[in-house]
Amino acid sequence: MNSFDSNPATNSLISSEADSQRTLYPYVTGTSVVGIKYKDGILLAADMGGSYGSTLRYKSVERLKPVGKHSLIGASGEISDFQEIMRYLDDLILSDNMWDDGNSLGPKEVHNYLTRVMYNRRNKFNPLWNSLVLGGVKNGQKYLGTVSMIGVHYEDNHVATGFGNHLARPLLRDEWRENLTFEEGVILLEKCMRVLLYRDRSAVNKLQVLFSLCGIHNS
């Protein structure tokens, strides 16, 4: 008799470990995301680099995505975990649309959902290795928030992840104002991303910018 087959407990343990898919540490990562409110909506910006360890392996990674009719999301951290989060959100939006009740999830609801997902995974010691920025406009109300990989979350007029927390937010505290026009908002984000490019080794000079304006998403 095969000794491997004679011990079902060992077989079960090996099988369960093989079936378990966890991000034990990040492999391919993206760096900072910066988000601001401007006069008419929300602006998000991120570079398109994907680092394999300390190597800038990918130069066209999209880390900003629309979510439903009203929201935008941006992610730094592990790219595969961000793809998993997008699958969660696709299921959430599909389930919401199936009610066909004339209502749709806004950015605040999506942000609250993400805080529960991130905190739940943290409590299972199987976190999603991302820091997320979630913003949007619904019924004329602007919303911008962030959530970390352990579920720490807040809402503000401008947010940033990664190095952006240390390098971009001081600029935003000095230069952001409530009545920024779209053009001024883009210029301010470009200034932040330029500073990050100079100081962050994981940043690249190829940017993605998304805006939300009364439920309209564009890039």
Tokens in use for 171?
Answer: 């600029």
Q: Which of the four pLDDT bands, split at 50, 70 and 90, describes residue 40?
A: very high
**In this predicted model, what pLDDT tens digit does every residue of 43-80 receive, in sequence order?**
999 999 999 998 999 999 999 999 999 999 999 999 99
Give yes or no: 146 in active site.
Answer: no
* Catalytic position from the list 23, 29, 31, 55: 23
Q: Report pTM.
A: 0.86
DSSP secondary structure of 164-219 = HHHHTHHHHHHH--TT--HHHHHHHHHHHHHHHHHH-TT--S-EEEEEEETTEEE-
Contact at 8 Å (CB) between 42 and 66? Answer: no
pLDDT > 90? residue 16: no
